[in-house]
Amino acid sequence: MGDWEWPLILFTVLGQIAIGIILMLWWLARDRAHLDGQLFKRGVKVSGGLLILALLASLFHLGHPDAAYRALTHLSTSWLSREILLFLLTFLAWINLYRQARQLSSGHALRTDSATMAVAEIEAGQQTNSLSLGLGITSVLGLSGIASSAMIYVLPRVPAWNNVGPVLFFLLTTGLLGALCTLALGGKLLQNTQKKFLLKWSLACTSVSLLIYVIYGSMLSVSIEGAASLTFLLNSPLFWARALLGWFAPLLLLLSLLKRPQIDQTHLILTVTLLAGVGEILGRALFYLSATGIQITALF
């Protein structure tokens, strides 16, 4: 508490991007004609890479990573135990997705051209169904894992965390960065309507994030420790950087992107993804830095 917790920052943010991408793929796959196979493969691979990095990062937080397996023991009361179990299950679910990705023959695009569509569509349909299922299971497990990881921080000892805040913040990171990274990864593999959807979703996440933060901030002063967290944040240049890079700049860029009929400004997309990414990392760092615990406030 109060430190730059790099292992935890990386674990949570990278893990959330990984699940976010899967979540977006799941959404896109709901319309069976729309999920591009290449995108599916790319998304799964990137997501898996990030998930592995995230899990490795989490080990660095432990004094004894070699004994990390023991962390599965206390499912009865420990959210950390539950989080680890859920992330492991998510990883298993991802392995299934990876298997599916490899089975997809390269270049098998799900097209909407007429002739072969009937047969291809039926095959594709079945395939999409199973892809959808796989993506859905991974998403649900992943989101549960993320919710668990947030619940770890819901501690009576830390008033600023002892509410629905952590869960919301973590899920918003998942949604925002998941969408933007999918958009950045997808590029030409995404249809314009899909891009529009991802942009709108990102805009919604950014707006909700800002709004929730304002409401959350105003409620912090209820406790002394919360007030201390608020003061810390408002006085921190990092917080203002986070606000600029993670909220205001993306809001402007996303609005400007959405105004155009055709979304093909790769540079702009990459920029807003990067800014939002930095914003979320700063936000996560501040989450740990600003937390003030109830203390013995004696003299020494």
Q: Which stretches of the chain bind other proteins, using CB under 8 A?
A: 1, 61-65, 67-68, 70-74, 77-81, 84, 152-153, 155-158, 293-300
Q: Write down the least CB distance from residue 89 to other proteins, Å.
A: 16
Q: Write down the least CB distance from residue 204 to other proteins, Å.
A: 32
Q: Which residues contact 234 (CB under 8 A, 6 or more apart)?
A: none
Q: Name which of 159 and 178 has its Cβ closer to other proteins.
A: 159
Q: Name which of 36 and 83 has its Cβ closer to other proteins.
A: 83
Angle at 179 between CA 258 and CA 101, to 5 degrees: 130
Q: Write down the least CB distance from residue 152 to other proteins, Å.
A: 7
Of 168, 145, 146, 166, residue with least CA distance to 154: 166
Q: Name which of 77 and 114 has its Cβ closer to other proteins.
A: 77
132-141 as b/e, with b when 16 or more CB fall inside 10 Å?
Answer: bebbbbbbbb
Q: Write down the least CB distance from residue 216 to other proteins, Å.
A: 19
Cα–Cα separations (whole angstroms), residue 36 to 25, 42, 49, 95, 128: 9, 10, 20, 19, 10
Q: Write down the least CB distance from residue 151 to other proteins, Å.
A: 10
Q: Write down the least CB distance from residue 299 to other proteins, Å.
A: 4
Q: Name which of 217 and 293 has its Cβ closer to other proteins.
A: 293
With contact defined as beta carbons under 8 Å apart, do 163 and 291 qualify?
A: no
Helix axes 165-186, 192-220, angle to 10 degrees: 160
Q: Name which of 5 and 36 has its Cβ closer to other proteins.
A: 5
Query: Nearest 5°: phi and psi at 81?
Result: -60, -45
Q: Write down the least CB distance from residue 54 to other proteins, Å.
A: 16
Q: Name which of 59 and 255 has its Cβ closer to other proteins.
A: 59
Q: Name which of 79 and 197 has its Cβ closer to other proteins.
A: 79
Angle at 211 between CA 206 and CA 212, to 5 degrees: 100
